[in-house]
């Protein structure tokens, strides 16, 4: 699909102000102008300057999933320049606004200080509809996600160096509510790197049911049904 048509379709799928839509339009154009990057075997230095962002159609799906499930507490592993975070924050903020005094939060994680700074700039540009719902945790997520997680987490987005996917899920797993969704990008394109994550999700004792949506690279979606006997 041509770039302009893809962006138009995506942005028509979300409820957002003209300010937010313009930020998303600009960031998607930058991200789509880059060559694709898929993390498979290890950190690659040239990825530090890339968006490594969800494709627009995946962003629209994630936004709609959050809105349809009423999700208010999200963990994003791999924030990069903060593009997909805007969709997450927009959704949880709108969900929180459906009832008085409801709280909501996107816990975003990023190990690279330069990317974290750029992400904050983009969220600031998007304004209060987005920025106030985000808590950015800089550093190694294996440390930053060890403490102070919400009591119940509704959604986990994994868009990171694949060896960190399962360690992230292990940290978040005890806080996932029944019905929570785990999404992992490029699960087909990076299938070798995601093998341990997929094995964990498919083990009956861990309480998940999983499918892969046929987007470019594959988008894994797994629903937590709860551990048997728990």
- Report the domain count for the chain: 1
Position 35 in a domain = yes
Position 220 in a domain = yes
Query: Which residues, given as ranges, of the chain have pLDDT below 70?
Result: 1-4, 34-52, 101, 228-230
User: DSSP label at 50?
Assistant: S
Q: Quick one: pLDDT at residue 42?
A: 47
Torsion of CA 62, 181, 149, 102, to 10 degrees: 70
Give the DSSP per-residue string, 131-169: HTTEEEEES-HHHHTSS---SSEEEEEE-S-GGGHHHHH
pTM exceeds cut of 0.85:
yes
What angle do the packed helices 195-202 and 165-172 form, to 10 degrees? Answer: 30
Domain with 49 in it: 3-224
Report, in this order, helix, strand and coil percent for the chain, each rounded to 5: 45, 20, 35
pLDDT digits (tens, 9 = 90+) for 84-93: 999 999 999 9
CATH number at residue 214: 3.40.50.150
Position 124 in a domain = yes
Position 155 in a domain = yes
Position 230 in a domain = no
């Amino acid at each position: 699909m041509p770039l302009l048509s893809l962006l138009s379709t995506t942005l028509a799928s979300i409820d957002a102000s003209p300010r937010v839509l313009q930020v998303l339009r600009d960031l998607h154009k930058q991200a789509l102008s880059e060559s694709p990057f898929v993390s498979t075997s290890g950190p690659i230095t040239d990825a530090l300057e890339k968006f490594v962002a969800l494709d627009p159609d995946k962003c629209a799906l994630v936004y709609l999933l959050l809105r349809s499930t009423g999700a208010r507490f999200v963990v994003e592993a791999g924030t990069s320049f903060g593009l997909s975070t805007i969709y997450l924050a927009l959704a949880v903020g709108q969900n929180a606004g459906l009832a008085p005094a409801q709280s909501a939060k996107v816990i975003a994680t990023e190990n690279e200080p330069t990317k974290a700074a750029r992400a904050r700039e983009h969220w600031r540009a998007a304004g209060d509809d987005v920025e106030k719902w985000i808590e950015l945790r800089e550093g190694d997520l294996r440390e930053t996600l060890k403490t102070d997680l919400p009591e119940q987490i509704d959604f986990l987005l994994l868009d990171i160096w694949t060896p960190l996917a399962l360690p992230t899920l292990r940290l978040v797993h005890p806080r996932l509510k029944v019905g929570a969704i785990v999404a992992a990008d490029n699960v087909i394109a990076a299938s070798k790197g995601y093998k341990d994550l997929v094995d964990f999700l498919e083990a009956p004792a861990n309480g998940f049911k999983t499918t892969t949506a046929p987007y470019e690279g594959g988008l894994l979606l797994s629903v937590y049904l709860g551990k048997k006997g728990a």
